Structure 1
Amino acid sequence: MHGMNYRVTLPADYDMGVIRRRVATRGHLLDDFPGLGQKAYLIRERGREGSPVNEYAPFYLWNTPQGMNSFLWGPGFRSLADDFGRPVVEHWTGLGFTRGPAVGQAPRAAARTSRPLARDTDLPEVIARELAEVAELGRSSGLHSAALLVDPRHWELLRFTLWEDAAPEDGPGAERFEVLHLSRPGLDAIQEGRQW
């Protein structure tokens, strides 16, 4: 499993209806995309849910690097770059994944929480603890799914969760999003639990 996210920050007075219409007319195009586990079409609106910005921020969980590469070097990403400029694409390797009780429902909210891993961090201990927390989270009412990911270049740990309704507060640094659509062609193929 590979995680991928890019953020398109938009002007404070931007009509977010443009993004809503874009997702409503184009979101289904990845519903059968090979190699994709799931793509959450995320937005934040300035002044709502504590967001300081207007932002379009799709989040992907890929089952294969071939699928991810096919998307990045194909017409889908090119269309986004043509419309908004080419964004920085963040990328993480998967550590763990769980399906929640609401996995069969369409999620309406998401949360993304990242934290740095200090140089003196005992990585196996921290990862084991975080994986246990994600497994426990998997029993939470309203949880669609949760992924634990790591960027070993910047030593950043990231937890990404999807929720049937509102995303609960998830500690300092948590960002909350509205989910406009979920493409999930390979969700059933994402390995649950630890990824190694």
Structure 2
Amino acid sequence: MHAMQYEMTLPADYGMDVIRDRVARLGHLLDDWGGLGLKAYLMRERGVDGSPVNQYGPFYLWHTVEGMNSFLFGGPFQGLVDDFGRPVVRQWTGLAYEEGRAADTAAAFAVRRRTPVPEGVELAEFAEEAVNGTRRLADQDGVVLAAAGVDTGRWELVRFSLWSHREAAVSAASGGDGEVFQVLHLSQPGRKALSPGRQW
């Protein structure tokens, strides 16, 4: 599994209905994309659920690198680049994936937590705790799915989860390092191909 995200921070007075309309028109294009586990079309609005910015930030879980590369270098990504400019695309190597208690319900919100991997930790123990933490997260009420990955360039852990309702998502994000996004659409052609548990 490979996690990927890009974010476009938009002006404070930007009409976010432009993003909603774009996703409504184009979101289906990845509903059957080869190699894609899932794409969550995510948006944050300034002043909503603690967000300081207007932002469009889709999050991807890939089950093949070939699928990811075909999207980036030969697919719909070019349309986004043409319209908004080329964003920085963050990538994390997958550590864990779990279906949640609410796996059969629609995802309405997402929570992302990014934390540095501390200096001096035993990396095997840290990774195992990320796996266990993903399992615990997936077992919470309202969780559709949960995943964890690591960027070894920045030594950063990302925890990503989809939720069925706002209250649980906002509660899960509390504590200062969690960010809540609205899910505008979910393309999930290869969700069943994402292997559960630890990714090694």
What pairs up with 1:24-103 in 2 under 5 angstroms?
24-103=24-103
Amino acid at match of 2:125: E
State the aligned residue count: 196
CA RMSD of aligned residues (A): 0.9
Identical pairs, percent: 53
User: What is the identity, as a one-letter code, of the residue corresponding to 1:55?
Assistant: Q
Aligned mates of 1:11, 1:74 — CA distance in 2: 29
Q: CA deviation at 1:88?
A: 0.1
Show the counterpart of 1:173.
Answer: 177
Gaps of 5+ in 1: none
Name the residue aligned to 1:161.
161
Using the alignment, how far apart are the partners of 2:106 and 2:30 within structure 1?
A: 16
- The farther-off stretch of 123-132 and 31-40 is 123-132
Q: Distance in 2 between matches of 1:145 and 1:108?
A: 12
Q: Taking structure 1 as the reference length, what is the TM-score of the superposition? A: 0.97
Kept in 1: contact 2:95–2:130 (CA 8 A)? no
Shift of 1:169: 2.9
**Structure 1: 4+ residue segments shifted above 2 A:** 168-172
Query: Which TM-score applies when normalising by structure 2?
Result: 0.95
Following superposition, the deviation at residue 135 of structure 1 comes to: 0.9
In structure 2, how many angstroms separate the alpha carbons of the residues matched to 1:137 and 1:119? Answer: 24
Question: Any idea what the Cα deviations from partners look like across 1:113-156, whole Å, max 9, x if unmatched?
Answer: 01111221221112212211211222211100000100011100
Match of 2:13 in 1: 13
Structure 2, unmatched stretches of 5+, are: none
The secondary structure found in structure 1 opposite 2:172 is coil
Cα displacement (A) at 1:172 = 2.7
Paired residue for 1:125?
125
Rounded to whole Å, the distance in 1 between the matches of 2:39 and 2:65 is 15
Q: Does residue 141 in structure 1 map to residue 141 in structure 2? A: yes
Distance 1:102 1:28 in 2: 23
